[in-house]
Amino acid sequence: MRIALDAMGGDHGPTPNVHGTRLALEANPDLTVVLVGDPARLEPLLAETAVPAHRIELVPATQVVEMKEKPAEAIRRKPEASIFRCWQLLAEGSVDGLVSAGNTGAVVAGGLKTRKFLQCVHRPGIATVMPTAKGRCVLLDVGANVFPKPRHLLEYGVMGGVFARHMLQIERPTLGLMNVGEEEGKGHELVQKTYELFRTSPLHDRFLGNIEGRDIHRGAVDVVVTDGFTGNVVLKLCEGVFEFIMGMVKSEVIHPLPHDRELAAQAARQLVGKYHYSAFGGAPLLGVDGVCIICHGSSNDRAIANALGVAALDCRLKINEKIVAELEQLPAAVED
């Protein structure tokens, strides 16, 4: 597998990208990483990190999209930026997939500009994997589509289900629709119409209906479907609540312990590591023709390495072909 890495992307620049590449190459014997970025900055880093030279390629790109830059402007002003070069490599067929910890909006915009949607897809969405009391679940969309139509959400259910089945090995993933109450008829027009679409779709026997905010982490369903506005708030809120509570646990539970303080602090660090976003590594952009894994801006070495591994696995398992095959089973979309 050949995966392009936006080596300039992310809050910390090239360092975690290069370190993550080394880790990913160790873990994935069939992987070649195509690092896209500024050779003057990447070459010394690659040398000092001892990345095996025959497992990588370097593609020059001197422009970088900044984290706060508006995607539409970036695509106009910096067509040669590292993230857009990654998409071009994919379009040319010289890589199988790409990974970026850069500006999420620019990653999505680059994909929409250079790639077609997968057959039967009306709008791509970003999926994320979250820990639950029962294991893991897939939540989508988390920000690609902030004002979707019911049909988009139905397709997210299909795409999230395929991802959960093949990438997370959940044999028969159940689906839930994020809402403000469990009962049918709850919420605004979008969720009411989407509920009805799911109920009458080929997914109906895996659709468990509406779920509430507190159900996600209880592991009530394997795939949580929501609009990109709500999903983005959910994703970032989880990060904030986790940070807040673990801070309180450290100062109010662990710090005062007379004997076991160090032991408890170590266990807390392990717990943070286990549920940190870096444990899965990235969020797949589903519905675009091509494999694209979007990483958190503050990704560390482990997150980049895991994202490269996820991208390679996604290619190996031909997730996109499986998505198209399932979407073809849906009845044709009607205007809503």
Binding residues vs a copy of itself (CB under 8 A)? 68, 70, 105, 131-133, 143, 146-147, 178, 180-181, 183, 185, 187-189, 191, 212-218, 226, 228-230, 232-249, 252-254, 256-261, 263-264, 267-268, 270-271, 275
Contact (Cβ atoms closer than 8 angstroms) between residue 237 and residue 153: no
| Residues composing the chain | 336
CB of 34 to a copy of itself, least distance (A): 29
Residue 201 in tokens:
């779709």
Contact (Cβ atoms closer than 8 angstroms) between residue 23 and residue 301: yes
Local structure of residue 70 (DSSP, 8 states): -
In angstroms and rounded to an integer, the radius of gyration of the C-alpha atoms of the chain is: 20
- Output 131 or 309, the one with its CB closest to a copy of itself: 131
Contact (Cβ atoms closer than 8 angstroms) between residue 35 and residue 63: no
CB of 149 to a copy of itself, least distance (A): 13
**One-letter amino acid for residue 23 of the chain:** L
- Output 267 or 325, the one with its CB closest to a copy of itself: 267
CB of 308 to a copy of itself, least distance (A): 25
Residue 153 in tokens:
């959400």
Contact (Cβ atoms closer than 8 angstroms) between residue 107 and residue 292: yes
CB of 122 to a copy of itself, least distance (A): 17
Residue 21 in tokens:
């590449």
CB of 118 to a copy of itself, least distance (A): 24
- Output 37 or 148, the one with its CB closest to a copy of itself: 148
Q: Give the integer Cα–Cα distance in Å for 142 and 137.
A: 13
- Output 117 or 229, the one with its CB closest to a copy of itself: 229
Place of tokens 């910096």: 78
CB of 293 to a copy of itself, least distance (A): 20
Alpha-carbon distances, residue 154 vs 84, 194, 324 (angstroms): 29, 7, 14
Q: Give the integer Cα–Cα distance in Å for 1 and 327.
A: 26
- Output 26 or 239, the one with its CB closest to a copy of itself: 239
CB of 274 to a copy of itself, least distance (A): 8
CB of 275 to a copy of itself, least distance (A): 7
Cis amide leading into 141 (omega within 30): yes
- Output 212 or 289, the one with its CB closest to a copy of itself: 212
- Output 70 or 113, the one with its CB closest to a copy of itself: 70
- Output 183 or 328, the one with its CB closest to a copy of itself: 183
The distance between the two most distant Cα atoms of the chain, rounded to a whole number of Å, is 65
